[in-house]
Amino acid sequence: MYKITLIPGDGTGPEITEATKRVLEATGVPFEWDIQNAGEEVYHKEGTPLPDRVIESIRRNKIAIKGPVTTPVGTGFRSVNVTLRQILDLYSCVRPCKTYKGAKTRYDNIDLVIFRENTEDLYAGIEYQKDSDGAKAMIDLVAKLSGRSIRQDSGISIKPISVFCTERIVRAAFEYARKNKRRKVTSVHKANIMKYSDGLFLEVSREVAKNYPDIEFEDKIIDNMCMQLVQKPELYDILVLPNLYGDIISDLAAGLIGGLGLAPGANIGEGYAVFEATHGSAPKYKGLNKVNPLAMILSGVMMLRHLGEMKAAEMLDKAVASIIKEGKDVTYDMKPAPDDPTSATTSGVADAIIAKMAI
Ligand code: NAD
């Protein structure tokens, strides 16, 4: 029996979580779910969107699967998702993007794995609000140290990139490449402009790459990478990126394989792993039983592999591939037109997968 922390999230999170829980149970692998709510509703009830009980549960169970959690834009509490990754030091965000036959895409040959550094960069959460004492002090300090002036009416976010965190994410990308017989790792950066943060990311990437002569290494500047991925994605294999670029490229890569509804992910550290889709809570569809549960279900496949339940993982992955190929029991985003009346519901997709696995 695997005891797993289950975080339903908010918005459409609870619907896709329920679908995922049902298909995971249908694989026959025994699970005991430790259900832990987090997010906006919890914030109103418990005064924090991420109570200690959630962290304690993951520390206890070591593994969690979570639905997306809404983050207020601009003001309000910090992202539960980012905070969770930082507290548990889940430094590798691993996001495979692979085309399934039958998915509605412009490309039919994508097989990328994104390694996004998950704990630092502009997501470190070190920010100073406009007109705050902190912002004023930072402006004075920068003027004193560099002679450069920052406008007084500025908000400031700090972008730390360390040798330690870069080394471990690049190593994770190479280790994955080796284990999964992949051919190439591309380090993505903007080192021409941010010489001391992205420059360090590149320098450390090159150093780590020397330990893996069996795997090709190259680097690309982020803006060029965006164009390359749209024009010739088949040239790329594993991408390793600092946090912000990794976040953005993850959505771009999801677009290449048919949309966010199909892009799974895992946040992995030394002791803990939290599996979640790349997408957010899509709140406008909340309660409609409409959105695609496959990204979270495929995150469940990643979790099964992490647990060593390879047979169950292959069975579930095959069932997903089969419903995508048939194109009947898929949600609106995977139909030729989004208003297709034959679109399956979120729970309907789970039913179809469960039926496939039973055959
Ligand atoms: P989003 O990923 O929630 O949705 C963007 C659009 O993508 C949706 O409007 C929808 O058209 C499509 N989409 C997303 N998931 C889908 C699915 N499962 N099936 C079909 N279509 C899907 O991004 P957003 O609107 O920018 O963010 C909404 C909220 O989610 C924000 O508060 C954001 O902070 C949060 N968020 C959370 C996570 C997380 O929990 N890890 C990740 C990203 C965003």
Percent of the chain at pLDDT exceeding 90: 94
Asked if 76 and 39 count as a contact pair (C-beta separation under 8 A), the reply is no
Is 43 labeled as catalytic in the residue annotation? no
Q: How far apart are the CA of 11 and the centre of ligand 1, in A?
A: 9
Would you state the pLDDT for residue 160? 98
Give me the mean pLDDT over the 11-25 stretch: 98
Q: Examine the residue annotation and report whether 329 is marked as an active-site residue of this protein.
A: no
Are the C-beta atoms of 326 and 353 separated by less than 8 Å? no
Instruction: List C-alpha distances in Å: 178 to 65, 184, 185, 220, 272.
Output: 26, 10, 10, 21, 22
The Cβ of residue 212 has, within 10 Å, a number of other Cβ atoms equal to 17
Residues contacting residue 279 through CB under 8 Å, at least 6 positions apart? 68, 254, 260, 261, 263, 295
For the segment 182-191, the average pLDDT, to the nearest whole number, is 98
Task: List, for residues 245-292, the tens digit of each pLDDT value.
Answer: 999 999 999 999 999 999 999 999 999 999 999 999 999 999 999 999
Q: What is the pLDDT of residues 33-48, one digit of tens each?
A: 999 999 988 999 999 9
Domain ranges of the chain: 1-96+262-359, 106-112+160-257, 121-158
Does pLDDT of 93 surpass 80?
A: yes
% of the chain exceeding 70 in pLDDT:
100
Q: Are 79 and 71 contacting, i.e. CB atoms less than 8 angstroms apart?
A: yes
Q: If you take atom 22 of ligand 1, which residue's CA is the nearest one?
A: 261
**Residue range 60-73: average pLDDT?**
94
What's the CA-to-centroid distance between 284 and ligand 1, angstroms?
9
pLDDT at 74: 74
- Which of 281, 331, 345 has most ligand 1 atoms within 8 Å of its beta carbon, as the pocket-test mutant? 281
Topology adopted by domain 1-96+262-359: Isopropylmalate Dehydrogenase (3.40.718)
Domain at 106-112+160-257: CATH code: 3.40.50.2300
Res. 77: pLDDT tops 90: no
pLDDT computed for residue 316 by the predictor: 98
By most ligand atoms within 8 Å of CB, the mutation choice from 262, 279, 289, 299 for ligand 1 is 279
Per-residue model confidence as pLDDT tens digits over 295-314? 999 999 999 999 999 999 99
Active site residue 223: yes
Residue nearest to atom 6 of ligand 1 (CA): 282
> Does pLDDT of 180 surpass 90?
yes
Average pLDDT over residues 170-189: 97
- β-sheet bridge partners, residue 217: 185
* Residue 179 among the catalytic residues: no
Of 190, 220, 290, 356, catalytic: 190
pLDDT at 359 over 80: no
The predicted pLDDT at position 290 comes to 97
Q: Which residues, judged by CB distance below 6 Å to any ligand atom, belong to the binding site of ligand 1?
A: 68-71, 81, 260-261, 276, 279-284, 291-292, 295, 333
Return the pLDDT at 96: 97
The residue from 52, 223, 284, 328 that is catalytic is 223
The mean predicted confidence, pLDDT, of the chain is 96
C-alpha of residue 278 to centroid of ligand 1, in Å:
8
